[in-house]
């Protein structure tokens, strides 16, 4: 019944993300996470110092990928083409577990904002926008660039009441996101 080294840690992260995204951070108790994994609450504390640290650990994954993307962007001239490439790469990042992560971030803003690493994520989003649109662009274009990102985050949620395949939605969302990037 014992698990491989750090298997439990990974399981905790997985279940926690699932529940945080589904029910929200505050509403998800450690008891609930523990019960799903059939361990005790105290076991969670062996692997993470606090509830907040579980989230922080999840943030880090995203943080790292976002950083890599930003690193790439710093070597690019901000042309329509490179901006679209940026969006495409970002879309790829937030496939899989990333998508749940972003859904969590976007739909639990007040909680996330106060969490360790939360401010940092917000700052990163701001940097995304700065690459995607010129500082002196029109206000609508500024907003468009940001809604481009949000399309990728929210498309699935926006279409949740329709019976459309998840992957198709994500592909269409990329389309929408690309079209929101200013042409020049």
Partner DNA sequence: CATGAATGAGCTTTCATTCAT
Partner DNA sequence: CATGAATGAAAGCTCATTCAT
Residues lying near its own copies in the complex (CB under 8 A) are found at 22-24, 26-27, 106-111, 122-123, 126, 129, 138-140, 142-144, 146-147, 150-151, 154-155, 157-159, 161-162, 164, 168-169, 171-173, 175-176, 179
Q: Does 46 bind DNA (CB under 7 A)?
A: yes
Residue 134 DSSP SS3: coil
CB atoms within 10 A of CB 99: 19
The one among 36, 47, 124, 146 contacting DNA by CB under 7 A = 47
Q: Does 148 bind DNA (CB under 7 A)?
A: no
The one among 13, 17, 51, 155 contacting DNA by CB under 7 A = 51
Tell the smallest beta-carbon distance from residue 93 to its own copies (Å).
19
- Backbone angle region of 96, left / alpha / beta, with phi > 0 → left and psi within -120 to 50 → alpha: left
Residue 21 to residue 150: CA distance in whole angstroms: 16
**Cα-atom radius of gyration of the chain, to the nearest Å?**
18
| Residues 6 or more apart in contact with residue 34 via CB below 8 angstroms | 40, 41, 43, 44
Could you list the residues that contact DNA (CB under 7 A)? 2-3, 5-6, 8, 28-32, 39-43, 45-47, 49-52
């Amino acid at each position: 019944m014992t698990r491989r080294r750090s298997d439990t840690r990974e399981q905790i992260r997985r279940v926690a993300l699932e529940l945080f995204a589904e029910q929200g951070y505050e509403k998800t108790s450690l008891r609930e996470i523990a019960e799903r994994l059939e361990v005790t609450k105290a076991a969670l504390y062996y692997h993470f110092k606090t509830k907040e640290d579980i989230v922080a650990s999840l943030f880090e994954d995203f943080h790292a990928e976002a950083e890599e993307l930003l690193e790439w962007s710093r070597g690019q001239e901000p042309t329509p083409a490179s901006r679209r490439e940026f969006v495409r790469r970002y879309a790829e990042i937030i496939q899989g577990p990333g998508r749940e992560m972003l859904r969590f971030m976007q739909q639990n803003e007040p909680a996330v904002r106060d969490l360790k690493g939360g401010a940092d994520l917000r700052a990163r989003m701001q940097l995304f926008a700065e690459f995607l649109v010129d500082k002196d662009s029109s206000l609508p274009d500024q907003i468009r660039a940001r809604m481009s990102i949000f399309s990728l985050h929210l498309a699935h949620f926006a279409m949740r009441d329709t019976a459309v395949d998840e992957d198709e939605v994500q592909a269409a969302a990329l389309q929408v996101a690309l079209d929101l990037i200013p042409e020049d």
